Structure 1
């Protein structure tokens, strides 16, 4: 018969291997790579279609103005009014995300915004245009800050720059492919089934959001603990890293989000940077006015700045995490964007010169905005993150409304984009300066 010692030896569980520091780091990197492949790739696709549905109005403008007689002021108000409801519902949406879970709430957002984007094809009057854009803003409210909040629950600040830039690379990538796609739809579908080309644009580019929303219900886990594709050890590692990182945050409670001067400074920076989205709404028509008449060619021209922006934001995201430096990685691209906008008025009659100046402006703005989000996600955690991230993003949406509306009014009043471009340049330069006022100890880690 086996001895007691032999029985204990046979039934004992082997101790886990002892890993040295390099092995632990490699194992941890493998876990985060697994999470990134699973989550960020899917959220990237969702955000790409969200941004496409938000800006395709810039391409549709060409046909809508001709068919419906909309002025620059009507279009500017319609493009901007999206951000009014978006602003009002950002914080409530994030609170509802906390209550119902990321999976169900993000799915709801995507399905409703896809349906409303498609509903824009029925617009006939300025009032209808305003109503649909207002409802679209309400539907999409909470998606971006919700994802930012979701990422803080999976990644510590030391790893967040790369994943945020990967996620936000959806903006330029959406424009890279969305520009040529929109131009092709406008040229190829006009008159099919009795619909104008701009109506087909809303229909074709709104459907993927609905399908992705339905997929979200089965694909996206609410928390680390709900991820069936992680084992117990991987879940524990991720939870420990997030819990340890939360101790470095500046604001933890809901009321801290509104009392902290840093949060208000962050809100202003977001406001200043988001004013630059106005350029995305007007670039197709600016290029057309400058002399380029082919809508497909305009689409390819508009995609060029976003190719460079994608490369730039991914490279700077990696260097920001490697160095731990956050402020200059956002401020410097912002100053570059302001310089490009300041030069644009002298290029409005030459499509190639306009393309060069707008490439500098758009590329810098996209990169600055992407790297900026390392700042609020570093200083906010727990309840303050739920409300604070939504508030910061909501405050920025005021610029999303005011900037296109003001730009359109100035364009109509003066007959030129010059004054509007100068105001945008000044706004982004102020935002970039404000980034450098952020305290180093709060964000550089």
Structure 2
């Protein structure tokens, strides 16, 4: 470990621990939930895709606002205060979202999804901006980001392993789409998330604001004048769009294209397991060759690994497992490095006189992430609906190309943006822009 780091190893781990229960919800919200409501509850692919897209688009608008107020709140505990406010709302909304009654309408899904994503924002935006400030050195931010994403990968693996241990009781259902699984995931998260937040609040001190916060309207000049930030956000958007489409359609691809529902849990474990094993490797590559180069190469690797996916057919589980292994290997960089790069940009901006706006930076990151995921689920389910695809359909070419073809285009475009428009951020100096300050 870096002897000049501001935080001890124990504090770095305490910070990252909250990422585990937050990540446990990732697979249910993006993989299990859409087909559960579309198929088992009978709401349909198109309606579910539209409802989830609209609920996330509302959340997109709220991200920079939450980031702004995370900067504006005075005192030493501004990040922790917002996380504490978001916790009960998140538990309430996800309970109803993951434990629906047998007869529900699309309005039920829209309401609780919208509230759940709002509460998610109240926790995650302050949490990630907290990580950019707790240790302001480039290596320190990488350590905190790697800790958060490493715990996050453990949480994802835990969620992915649950279908292996839970048995479906209804004929024709896949294990991963079973309502019992969603309920178990909720209670696991509901126990671990408060514990993680207690560890964070007790072990990791929050530094008080040292600069006056700025107006929310300064977000536009921030984007207009900061080429590095624009390039990072565009690359991040395209990369998340490429990740979101396969996530939303994963269960359908495994069941209908590969005809291997029994392989769902093992394939998820292989993918995320490869990611967590590769995380130290990508951290080393970032330290040796720069974060930009490491992230761009990982995106390219994942894109090329998906080239064969549209040509896979029923029974090609081994070939698809290789795709999961290679694309999963790139996941470690894909999750840890963008947030670390964003922290470097926020730190360089503050040093150049940009004011105290780390929350606004990460609000913009959250906006781009959720916009990409909203478009991904709407685009994926919408294209399948337009193509006349029905779950269980033996004519799955449309599913194969939407699932495996579109992500390749978006991944390669993201890699081009990263390599062409980004520079290594470790020694970045950003020109100061004129901003208007406001009192806390």
Query: Shared topology, TM-score over 0.5?
Result: yes
**Structure 1 residue 269: deviation in Å?**
1.3
Q: Report whether the alignment pairs 1:431 with 2:414.
A: yes
Distance 2:197 2:400 in 1: 46
**Structure 1 residue 265: deviation in Å?**
1.7
Per the alignment, do residues 364 and 411 of structure 1 end up closer, same or farther by CA in structure 2, a change over 3 Å counting? farther
> Does the CA contact (< 8 Å) of 1:162 and 1:314 recur in 2?
no
Per the alignment, do residues 343 and 87 of structure 1 end up closer, same or farther by CA in structure 2, a change over 3 Å counting? same
Q: Please name the residue that 1:38 is paired with.
A: 14
2:154 to 155, 163, 173: 173
Task: Render the CA deviation track for 1:237-268: whole Å, top value 9, x for unaligned.
Answer: xx9xx99xx9xxxxxx8665333222222211
**Structure 1 residue 48: deviation in Å?**
2.5
1:277 to 239, 244, 249: 244
Distance 1:27 1:371 in 2: 21
Q: Report whether the alignment pairs 1:265 with 2:226.
A: no
> Does the CA contact (< 8 Å) of 1:270 and 1:431 recur in 2?
yes
Give the TM-score taking structure 1 as reference length.
0.77
1:105 to 70, 76, 82: 82
Paired residues for 1:153-302 under 5 Å: 153-155=133-135, 156-182=137-163, 184-185=165-166, 187-188=167-168, 198-215=178-195, 218-221=198-201, 257-259=222-224, 260-275=226-241, 276-295=243-262, 297-302=263-268
**Structure 1 residue 387: deviation in Å?**
0.8
Task: Render the CA deviation track for 1:156-197: whole Å, top value 9, x for unaligned.
Answer: 112222321221124432332212214544x25669xxxx98
Q: Report whether the alignment pairs 1:304 with 2:281.
A: no
Q: Report whether the alignment pairs 1:317 with 2:299.
A: no
Structure 1 unmatched runs, 5+: 1-24, 228-238, 247-252
> Does the CA contact (< 8 Å) of 2:94 and 2:116 recur in 1?
yes
Q: Please name the residue that 1:412 is paired with.
A: 385
Q: Please name the residue that 2:339 is paired with.
A: 373
Distance 1:134 1:51 in 2: 15
Per the alignment, do residues 172 and 401 of structure 1 end up closer, same or farther by CA in structure 2, a change over 3 Å counting? same
Q: Please name the residue that 2:95 is paired with.
A: 118
Per the alignment, do residues 359 and 367 of structure 1 end up closer, same or farther by CA in structure 2, a change over 3 Å counting? same
> Does the CA contact (< 8 Å) of 2:299 and 2:412 recur in 1?
yes
> Does the CA contact (< 8 Å) of 1:116 and 1:135 recur in 2?
yes
Q: Please name the residue that 1:396 is paired with.
A: 369
Distance 1:348 1:171 in 2: 32
Q: Please name the residue that 1:337 is paired with.
A: 302
Give the TM-score taking structure 2 as reference length.
0.77
Task: Render the CA deviation track for 1:274-308: whole Å, top value 9, x for unaligned.
Answer: 1112212221221111344555x421221101111
> Does the CA contact (< 8 Å) of 2:267 and 2:321 recur in 1?
yes
Task: Render the CA deviation track for 1:416-437: whole Å, top value 9, x for unaligned.
Answer: 2233232221112111111113
2:107 to 127, 133, 157: 127
Structure number with the higher helix fraction is 1
Per the alignment, do residues 444 and 226 of structure 1 end up closer, same or farther by CA in structure 2, a change over 3 Å counting? closer
Task: Render the CA deviation track for 1:355-407: whole Å, top value 9, x for unaligned.
Answer: 32244334435532432222221111342322122113212321111111111
Task: Render the CA deviation track for 1:15-68: whole Å, top value 9, x for unaligned.
Answer: xxxxxxxxxx9754595323213322x22323323424533xx23555544432
- Single out whichever of 147-156 and 198-207 deviates more from structure 2: 198-207
Per the alignment, do residues 367 and 277 of structure 1 end up closer, same or farther by CA in structure 2, a change over 3 Å counting? farther
Q: Report whether the alignment pairs 1:137 with 2:117.
A: yes
Q: Report whether the alignment pairs 1:147 with 2:127.
A: yes
Distance 2:367 2:203 in 1: 24
Query: Greater relative contact order (Cα 8 A, min sep 6): structure 1 or 2?
Result: 2
Distance 1:369 1:37 in 2: 17
Count of matched residue positions in the alignment of Structure 1 and Structure 2: 390
> Does the CA contact (< 8 Å) of 2:271 and 2:329 recur in 1?
yes
Distance 1:150 1:254 in 2: 19
Q: Over the residues paired in the alignment, what is the CA RMSD in angstroms?
A: 3.3
> Does the CA contact (< 8 Å) of 1:334 and 1:428 recur in 2?
yes
Structure 2 unmatched runs, 5+: 212-217, 351-355, 390-397, 429-440
Distance 2:177 2:337 in 1: 36
> Does the CA contact (< 8 Å) of 1:88 and 1:394 recur in 2?
yes
Q: Which runs of 4+ in 1 moved over 6 A?
A: none
